[in-house]
């Protein structure tokens, strides 16, 4: 079995949604993992599950869109998918505006770094 790679990891306080990819001879296969620890705040078990495997970028985005990934803080973007993630982000923000999140995606996609003080404001644990 091929090793899975993180394609996109987006985080919020208490959890994350991650798109994984596996390279095959016929292209990429994608799956999504959700981890949500916020139920523990009310003494319920936290949630962790994986999606079905899909074989197109569009289907992978549909998996991620179920969790509004573009509203979460980007933690990791695979170097081969930066342009595709950016295009997906832009299309989702046509009617919305959140300058702080857009800046963070620009930072990750373009590998531009802001000062450490400002960068720490964007980091969340996941």
Residue 104, pLDDT score: 66
| 78 closest CA partner among 34, 30, 124 | 30
pLDDT grade, residue 118 (50/70/90)? Answer: very low
Q: What is the pTM of this model?
A: 0.71
Q: Give 53's DSSP letter.
A: -
Across-strand partners of 80?
none
| Long-range interactions of 14-17: CB distance < 8 A, separation 24+ | 14/38, 14/41, 15/46, 15/47, 15/126, 16/72, 16/75, 16/126, 17/64, 17/67, 17/69, 17/72
How far is the C-alpha of 36 from the C-alpha of 99, rounded, in Å? Answer: 25
Mean pLDDT for 77-98 is 80
% residues pLDDT > 90 (the chain): 36
Q: Are 102 and 93 in contact (CB under 8 A)?
A: yes
Residue 48, pLDDT score: 67
């Amino acid at each position: 079995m091929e090793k899975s790679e993180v394609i996109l990891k987006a985080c919020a306080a208490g959890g994350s949604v991650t798109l994984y990819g596996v390279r095959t001879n016929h292209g990429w296969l994608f799956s999504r993992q959700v981890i949500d620890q916020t139920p523990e705040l009310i003494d319920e078990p936290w949630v962790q599950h994986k999606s079905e495997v899909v074989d197109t970028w569009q289907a992978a985005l549909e998996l991620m869109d179920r969790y509004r990934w573009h509203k979460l803080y980007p933690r990791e973007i695979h170097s081969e998918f930066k342009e595709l993630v950016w295009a997906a982000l832009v299309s989702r923000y046509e009617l919305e505006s959140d300058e702080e999140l857009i800046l963070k995606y620009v930072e990750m996609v373009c590998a531009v770094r802001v000062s450490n003080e400002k960068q720490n404001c964007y980091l969340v644990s996941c």
